[in-house]
Amino acid sequence: MSPSSSDFLTIRHPEPKPLAHPPVYPVFLPFIGCSYRCIYCAQDVQTGVGNRAIAPGSLRSLLFEELAGSEPVELAFYGGTFTALPQELMLAYLDVAAELRQAGLVSRVRCSTRPDCLGPEVLALLARSGMDLVEIGIQSFDNDVLAASGRGYKADAAVQGCKAVRTSGLELGIQLLPGLPRMTPAVFVRDVAAAAALAPSVARLYPLLVLEGTALARRWRAGSYTPWDVDQTVDALADAFLTLWRAGIRVIRAGLAPESTLDDAFLAGPRHPAMGQRARSLALFRLLEPALAAWQGPVRLDYPRRFQGELWGHRGELVPAYAALGLIPGATTPHPEPWEPDCFRLSAVEPPAGKLPD
């Protein structure tokens, strides 16, 4: 592009706008409904609630007390395999959710489960009982990875589970685990594309960590499993963000939430306190990179102020990469509203007075 005073290029950030949903109130039900323990799973330390699930009656009392006088929340049943619970127990939890909804304390409900525990009967029951969204721990759509990870189902079951949720009228969420045994970055790229094709409302990306007390920890100690490193993971997540955003899918989590029990159990793997920010920043760089590389002459960038914390990367780690493309911090301007909230604009920089452009 040959710059002049009128040259500019607008680039829109593809991330879908967040929906006006209430805050999520998580209820962790570690291990219940699970027929066996996955090789990487340590829900007792990942959630910080230990390995005992709260009973429905106790949950009812707790939530009516804790939520009284507050704005409605979205109640989320996480951990375990919710749709594999004995029906009487599942209905007891759903009844609690219904009572809270009737009292105006809950406005939405979601749960998490496996793709092979989503028969038409249980999905119909969830829909009748007020469930809004089902998050599926797909982890991967690759048969070799699923077998090596002992997931107990194949890729076709993963796809069919997702389709069944959408057919039932419930919203779909997909969880992926980059870094599983036998997973390469190329496999993860295919997994993300497969997830995008199934059109979930939301996605979570949990880079695999080695935690004490898991079968994966034994493999790691034996030298038969090597986790991804942080830089490799950030690179993969950045591309995943862009793919999912461009498909209209919101990424609602990247990496496990911090917990003191997780700190104690962590052995190896791509763990970083700013994992999500680093991946988002790299995704933004890759969004802008082609236009910056094609630009000829001095360039400036105007951008929404809300991206100020992402543009240059964690602790400025992307400043050299931008500088190599001709963009330096002094040639950027963050704009508050009413600047277009998702709009980045490249424009030509006028040479100083009395100086001819090269």
Q: What is the CATH number for 143? A: 3.20.20.70
Q: Are residues 242 and 332 in the same domain?
A: no
Q: Are residues 230 and 311 in the same domain?
A: no
Same domain for 175 and 136: yes
Q: Look at residue 50 in the predicted model and tell me its pLDDT.
A: 54
289 and 253 in a common domain: no
Residue 357: per-residue pLDDT: 40
- Is 356 contained in some domain? no
60 part of a folded domain: yes
Question: 129 lies in a domain?
Answer: yes
- Give residue 41's pLDDT: 86
Question: For residues 221 and 174, is the Cβ–Cβ distance under 8 A?
Answer: no
Helix, strand or coil for residue 35? Answer: coil
If asked whether residues 226 and 322 sit together in one domain, one would say: no
Domain's final residue, options 213, 240, 273: 273
Asked whether the CA dihedral 49, 174, 275, 304 is positive or negative, the reply is: negative
Same domain (yes/no): 260, 328: no
Please tell me the predicted confidence (pLDDT) of residue 358: 42
Domain assignment present for residue 353? The answer is no
Q: Which domain holds residue 304?
A: 8-14+281-348
- 62 and 153 assigned to the same domain: yes
Instruction: Provide the pLDDT for residue 18.
Output: 84
Domain boundary (273, 306, 339) is at: 273
Q: What's the pLDDT score for residue 19?
A: 84
With tokens 């219940």, the residue in question is: 32
Among the three residues 249, 273, 297, which one is the final residue of a domain in this structure?
273
Could you tell me if residue 128 is inside a domain? Answer: yes
Residue 358 lies in a domain: no
On whether residue 354 sits in a domain, the answer given is no
Residues 39 and 160 in one domain: yes
Residues 225 and 301 occupy one common structural domain: no
pLDDT value of position 2 = 42
For residue 8, the model assigns a pLDDT of 85
Q: What local confidence, expressed as pLDDT, does residue 42 receive?
A: 79
For residues 70 and 32, membership in a common domain is answered with yes
Q: 135-162 as b/e, with b when 16 or more CB fall inside 10 Å?
A: bbbbbbbbeebbebbebebbbebbbbbb
**Same domain, residue pair 105 and 254:** yes
Spans in the chain with pLDDT lower than 50: 1-5, 354-358
Q: How many domains does the chain have?
A: 2
Query: What's the pLDDT at 3?
Result: 44
The pTM (predicted TM-score) of the whole model is 0.91
Residue 337 lies in a domain: yes
Backbone angles phi, psi at 40, to 5 degrees: -105, -5
Q: Quick one: 223 and 298 in the same domain?
A: no
